[in-house]
Every structure is written in structure tokens, then in C-alpha cells.
Amino acid sequence: MIALLQRVSHASVSVDNQVVGEIAQGLLVLLAIEPEDNQVKAKRLAERVAGYRIFSDENGKMNLNVKQVNGEILVVSQFTLAANTSKGLRPSFTSAASPEMSEELYQYFCSQLRHLGFAVPTGVFGADMQVSLLNDGPVTINLQA
């Protein structure tokens, strides 16, 4: 399971020119599911995302997590993060989990964040989405379960 975290001032995701999820300050999480992933990994990754200290404290040091800055979390499925790019000039997506498995674990991951107290707007699983964001820093972190 791969979560690409982007610290944002604001972010939104649209489908067919309609905003389906948006946040102000917080984290945009692009999430990919791999075949060996499971609910244990999803729960652990959700806890890590919620607790990861990538927001600045009063001294400008990355010491605070998203909850400590009253931030929000937007989760968007993105199977392309699981791309195998080791050969050739075209990515292979055989290392991504099946759509059925991916959607189940994607929903479970989001439910775990909700259990931790976040509203968690999302994109639409499997849809052609447009993501807009203002990356703050920029800060982008690749977390894997």
C-alpha cells in the first residue's frame, strides 16, 4: 500500500467538472493498493498518515501532525503509484491490486481515518478525476505499508 502525502493549503478533486471532495489546509493523500495489502496494513497506514509530523510548529520545525494543526484529509485513489517503471518507456501496472480488492481496501483505509476523527472527503474510485492543489512547502512524502 502506497500513500503519497502532500501537505496542502487547499485541495480538491473533480469528476465531470463537478467538485466531489475538497479540503482547506491539510493532507492530500494519493493512495495505491498492491496485491499483498490487507486491512492490517490499511489500518496501520491510516494511523501513520494521521500521526505523521510534517506540519511546522512555532519554530518552523516539522513537528506537528494534521490533527494538531486542525487540518483535513482528502483521499484520492491512484493506482498509477504502483507502476513498475524498471523496464522500457511505458509503465506496467501489474503490481497494482485488482479493482475489486483496491476499492475495498481504499474504503477501509478511509473508514479508519474517519474512526480517527477526520471527515475524509474522497474522489470517486475508478473515475477519471482532476485533482487541484496548492502544495505547501512543497512537502511531499511517500509512505508505504
CATH code: domain of residue 30: 3.50.80.10
State which residues of the chain have pLDDT below 70: none
- From the number of C-beta atoms within 10 Å of its C-beta (0-12, 13-18, 19+), residue 120 rates as buried
Q: Number of folded domains in the chain?
A: 1
Q: How distant, in Å, are the alpha carbons of 34, 89, 107 from that of 123?
A: 19, 29, 11
pTM of the model as a whole: 0.95
Q: What is the pLDDT of residue 145?
A: 85
Angstrom distance (rounded) from CA 31 to CA 93: 14
Angstrom distance (rounded) from CA 10 to CA 135: 8
Instruction: Write out the catalytic residue numbers.
Output: 78-80
Element (H, E) at 51: helix 39-51
% the chain with pLDDT above 70: 100
Tens of pLDDT along 31-54? 999 999 999 999 999 999 999 999
And the C-alpha cell for 63?
513537528
Range of the domain at 19: 2-144
Crossing angle of helices 99-115 and 39-51, rounded to 10°: 40
